[in-house]
Structure 1
Amino acid sequence: MSIRHPRSLKWRLVTWVAAAQGAMFALLILAMTGVVGALWMRGSISSGIYERSTIEALTEAVGRGARGELILRPAPELERLRREIQGFWFIVRDSQGREVTEGQAPAELTPLMKGLDTVESAVLRGNRGDDAPSLAIVQWIDTAAGRVQMLTGGQGRLLLHQVVAAFLPMLYLTLLIIGLMTVATFLVTPFVVQRALAGLGRVADEAKRIDITRSGTRLPAVGVPVEIVPLVNAVNGALARLDRGYEGHKRFLADAAHELRTPIAILTTRISALQPGPEKIRLLEDMTRLTVLTGQLLDLQRLDREQASFAPVDLVALAERSVLDLAPLAFTAGYEMSFEAETGEIRVDGDETALDRALMNLIQNAIDHGGRRGTIAVRVAKAGWIEVCDDGDGIPPDQREQIFEPFHRLRQGGRGAGLGLDLVRRIMGLHGGRVEVVAGSSAGACIRLIFPRQRSS
């Protein structure tokens, strides 16, 4: 993630706040520059007396000549003082007695000149009032020409760079404050955003639990930032509409399945009255698949709407009955059938109708996809499981989980609607068990129903 193109909300906020603070600092500098410039142009600043104007101008201008004499280099500020100050004067001298002068010093200073050599720094006012410019200023100062003593009048006005220098401490303080605010932004904003969006974590957790089998699920709006509440409400509204549509879809399937049972029964009766032959066998197989599909749709609706009524169920008797019911269809399709039970009775708690439908679906699935060859074997074990195996082409390892998804077909154009194994999975989940693909004695498919609670006798 780059700062220029932040991907998260917190870093987007940090970037924009830091940018806003930088813009504020730039605007502050422009405002201060504008105010100082305006005051300078109006003379509100430049008209004031600044006694050190000549000293500072001379410091920039003084230098040494080729023979070591003191000279004055051209300096704009010094030229300005010459133009503006009437009777402009100064004396610059070094410890060797070399000096450069201009103008006429006040007569009052003549008796004091010899004694000023030992004075480091002083302001001489004479008998003038407090508001009047000083008579003279004397100071030893380091320059490009070395250490020299300057003696000059106390007249002059503020220079522009002096005004800027006076505002620099305030500018640095402002920069320090804004810098600290920026650091605080980078440190505090992520924490504040994380705390403010903590409610979204609960919304995300609830959203993960949304499933087609859990109607009525809604996202909580408690603790969610007010800016996000409209989005949560919109999602909840969409979920409500989906629930209504799904309920209508399920009602339609249930009604259609009920309506199809009568014409399917009539067609089955009429086909049974036909003369024996290959066409009759194929028609009977097709009608059987229609009957199974109608039963699957009704079973799905019943599982969604009804509470399962559990009672002791004998798995051996259940499996034997299913084999006897579907044996004629298996024989007609070209299979042999076998049934094995490790004991005479194995009891589990369950819904006998639903379990019968699950086992019938497995056997029907073996008839449809077993390749019309070999044996369909049904086995019941003492450990509490039933498995149905065939001698067909088997199930690829990477498809062993997907085959239990609704409407999933192992091969395009295969028989069935892809609801049988999904129904089996849901029925076993209702009983606290599971269905899985296991390795059989042959290369064909072998699917096992595993029950967690059992009663052996």
Structure 2
Amino acid sequence: MKQQGSLKRPLIIYPLAVHFATLFASFAILISVAIRIDSGGPYTDEQIVPVIARAIERNESGELSISVTPELAELRAATPELWFVAHDDSGRSVSFGRVPPFYNSFVGRLSELSYAHLRDRTPPYDLAAVVRREMTDIGPLTIIGHGALSELSFIVLLASNTVILPIFLLLTLTSLLIVPWIVKRSLAGVSRIAREAEEIDTGRRGRRLSESHVPSEIAPLVHAVNDALRRLDDGYERQQRFVASASHELRTPVAILRSKVESSDNDEVRALGMEVHRLATMTEQLLDLERLETNRHFESLDLAALSRQVVGDLAPLVIAGGRSIEVEVLGSELCVGDAAALERVIMNLVQNAIDHGGSHVIVRVVGTAFEVEDDGPGIPLEERDRVFEPFYRLRPRSTGSGLGLNLVREVVARHGGRVKILDSRSGGTVVRVDLCEAQPSGSAQNAYYTVDPDSADSTVCSPL
């Protein structure tokens, strides 16, 4: 199935691309409109005004005079047609260069102006001038002057480089930093419900995804998932009630049937004893599965002592069948668990070893783990996962219910442990059960534990 791409592209990259394209188009339109609406003709460069203002001095009598500064000399060399008139607020004035007669009427009235651009309509544009009011060391001056000419397109481009370009860069930087932050913050609720969904499994039912702080576009999906989880929980509860009820209802008639078969004088009826035994075993194992859900009694226990007790109970039956069994303790530690459930695990593993042709069975305790080893034909590697499935049989047999190893896996999982099948040195099978390395404490009653799957040599546990 093709995997969908990240939401970052449609939510961040595409909007940014559209945003930048819009900015470029807007700037181009603004420049085009500015050039279009202009009445035509070049402008006098405003940069001549500060140079002129710094060259104006006031003598002892208060009159204005011109000092040819290096800046003014350089400006005059670059622009031979340079001319200007400077006025102070008291009406004194000074001029430089050939001032066009057209501006004679401005003399004595320049102080009434503060800013202007004047242009004539035809070349050589001798009347093009700029009016600016400047604050100087000798007081405010109003200057009108003519110098180097600039076309409007050049001025607009210069303005875009000095004003618009920094604004564009600022908008770009802001978009690259703030838009991803906004998107990440908006999708924080989605990340949270994804983490919550990872915690949902069959052993921890009743969990629901949080519907708070979720975007309105995602809320219907979360609500639908919660409804589906609710229906699954209801179906699971109905199934569990059915299994429990069926098991309890079957227990009594199976016991009566077993008693009648065993006490019958008819050989054909007594031959049904094995099938009745299978039915009784299946009923008890179904009850065991039901008890896993309702009756959990976690307590401090010693695996070595528990193993010896189970083997002691099974030894007469094993020996009667012409087989042998032993307990091997390589180191035992106290752990927390349900003694009755773990006892059932050991019994099922021993029974499974005997049913699969093992003539000698070893129950081995190693710390908080135990193994059941047999010298039978072994289990093929490709079948080792499937044998834990309910009612799956590796070989057709007249004994067994097909629920034993499934019950083992369920019990071990509820203890936060893991079970795996290994090869025996004798060619048979070793079923190893690793339990949590949790020391018993008063707060450990009815606790659950999870297993760190990255721990290779030991099982590291933490309370849920």
Fold shared, TM-score > 0.5 on shorter chain: yes
Q: Which amino acid aligns with 2:100?
A: R
- Could you give the per-residue CA deviations for residues 274-296 of structure 1, whole angstroms, max 9, x where no partner exists? 7547x965x44333333222212
Q: TM-score, normalised by structure 2?
A: 0.58
Is the aligned partner of 1:125 residue 2:100? yes
* Structure 2 residue 19 is the aligned partner of structure 1 residue 21: yes
Q: Report deviation, 1:169.
A: 4.2
Partner SS for 1:393: coil
Cα distance in 2 for partners of 1:423, 1:29 equals 73
Distance 1:169 1:308, change over 3 A: same
1:164-179 correspondence to structure 2 within 5 Å: 164-169=153-158, 171-172=160-161, 173-174=163-164, 176-179=166-169
Among 344, 353, 367, the alignment partner of 1:357 is 344
* C-alpha contact 1:11 1:190 (8 A) present in aligned 2: no
The answer to whether structure 1 residue 265 and structure 2 residue 275 are counterparts is no
Answering whether residue 246 of structure 2 is matched by residue 256 of structure 1, we say: yes
Q: Which runs of 5+ in 1 are unaligned?
A: 54-117, 140-160
Instruction: Output the amino acid matched with 2:208.
Output: R
Residue 9 of structure 1 is matched in structure 2 by 7
SS in 1 for 2:210: coil
1:404–1:291: structure 2 CA closer, same or farther, 3 Å change rule? same
Q: Are positions 1:303 and 2:292 aligned together?
A: yes
Aligned CA distance change for structure 1 residues 276 and 270 (closer, same or farther; 3 Å)? same
8 Å contact from structure 1 (residues 438, 446) kept in 2: yes
Change (3 A) 1:306 1:26: same
Is the aligned partner of 1:320 residue 2:312?
Answer: yes
Tell me the amino acid that sits aligned with residue 318 of structure 1: V
Whether the 8 Å contact between 2:307 and 2:363 is mirrored in structure 1 is no
Q: Hey, what does 1:366 align to over in structure 2?
A: 353
8 Å contact from structure 1 (residues 51, 134) kept in 2: no
8 A contact 2:375–2:424 mirrored in 1: no
Question: What is the 5 A alignment of 1:186-205?
Answer: 186-205=176-195
- Cα offset, 1:305, TM superposition: 0.9
Matched AA of 1:357? R
Q: How far apart are residue 304 of structure 1 and its match?
A: 0.9
1:13 Cα offset (Å): 2.5
Inter-CA distance 133–174: structure 2 relative to 1 (3 Å threshold): closer
Displacement, 1:213? 0.9
Q: 1:432 to 1:25 in 2, by over 3 A?
A: closer
Q: Does structure 1 retain, via aligned residues, the 8 Å contact 2:353–2:373? A: yes
Partner of 1:82: none
User: 1:262–1:136: structure 2 CA closer, same or farther, 3 Å change rule?
Assistant: closer
2:326 alignment partner, SS class: strand
Tell me the distance in 2 between the aligned counterparts of 1:421 and 1:14: 52
Aligned equivalents of 1:25, 1:382: Cα separation in 2: 72
1:81-230 map, 5 Å: 120-121=81-82, 125-126=100-101, 137=124, 164-169=153-158, 171-172=160-161, 173-174=163-164, 176-221=166-211, 224-225=214-215, 227-230=217-220
| Structure 1 CA distance for aligned equivalents of residues 333 and 125 of structure 2 | 118
Alignment of structure 1 residues 381-420 onto 2, 5 Å = 387-397=371-381, 400=384, 402=385, 405-407=388-390, 409=392, 411=394, 418-420=402-404
Query: Could you tell me how far apart the structure 1 residues matched to 2:26 and 2:419 are?
Result: 73
Aligned length: 345
The superposition leaves residues 100-142 of structure 1 with CA deviations (integer Å, 9 ceiling, x where unpaired) of: xxxxxxxxxxxxxxxxxx9545676335767995998588xxx
1:447 is paired with a residue whose SS is: strand
**Given the superposition, is the C-alpha separation of residues 124 and 184 from structure 1 closer, same or farther in structure 2, using an over 3 Å criterion?**
same
Q: Report the Cα offset of residue 341 of structure 1.
A: 4.2
Whole-Å Cα distance in 1 between the matches of residues 207 and 123 of structure 2? 91
AA matched with 2:274: E
Q: Aligned with 1:288: secondary structure?
A: helix
Aligned CA distance change for structure 1 residues 439 and 7 (closer, same or farther; 3 Å): closer
SS at structure 2 position matched to 1:17: helix
1:35, distance to aligned residue in structure 2 (A): 4.5
**Mapped partners of 2:123, 2:420: distance in 1:** 108
Letter in 1 for 2:232: L
Q: 1:413 to 1:236 in 2, by over 3 A?
A: farther
* Matches of 1:382 and 1:6, distance apart in 2: 48
Contact 2:359-2:374 within 8 A present in 1 as well: yes
Verify: 1:338 aligned to 2:336, yes or no.
no
Q: How much has 1:413 moved relative to structure 2?
A: 6.5
* Paired residue secondary structure (2:101): coil
- Distance in 2 (CA, whole Å) between partners of 1:454 and 1:119 is 99
Conserved? CA contact 2:43–2:119, under 8 Å: no
Report what 2:427 is aligned to: 443
CA distance in 1, matches of 2:293, 2:196: 22
Q: Higher Cα Rg: structure 1 or 2?
A: 1
- Please say if residues 316 and 380 of structure 1, whose CA atoms lie closer than 8 Å, have aligned partners that are also in contact: no
Q: 2:424 touches 2:430 (CA, 8 Å); kept in 1?
A: yes
Q: Cα deviation per residue 1:46-102 (whole Å; 9 max; x = unaligned)?
A: 4x6x4789xxxxxxxxxxxxxxxxxxxxxxxxxxxxxxxxxxxxxxxxxxxxxxxxx
Q: Is the Cα contact below 8 Å between 2:361 and 2:374 reproduced in 1?
A: yes
Judging changes above 3 Å, is the alpha-carbon distance between structure 1 residues 228 and 135 closer, same or farther for their aligned structure 2 residues?
A: closer
Compute the displacement of 1:24 (Å).
Answer: 1.7
TM-score by length of 1: 0.59
Q: Which residue, out of 290, 308, 311, partners 2:279?
A: 290
Rounded Cα–Cα distance in structure 2 between residues aligned with 1:310 and 1:136: 106
Q: Does 1:427 align with 2:402?
A: no
Distance 1:270 1:171 in 2: 104
> RMSD across aligned C-alpha pairs, in angstroms?
4.7
Q: Is the 8 A contact 2:42 2:152 kept in 1?
A: no
1:15 and 1:185 map into 2 onto residues whose CA distance is 10
Post-superposition Cα deviations, 1:388-446, rounded to whole Å, max 9, x if no partner, equal 4434321235655x257443847486786653223223434556776544554521223
Offset at 1:302?
Answer: 0.7
Structure 2 unpaired stretches of 5+: 45-78, 84-97, 107-117, 127-149, 441-464
Moved more, 125-134 or 6-15: 125-134
What is the aligned partner in structure 1 of residue 63 from structure 2? none
CA contact (8 A) 2:308 2:327 kept: yes
Offset of residue 361 of structure 1: 1.6
Structure 1 distance, partners of 2:125, 2:345, is: 113
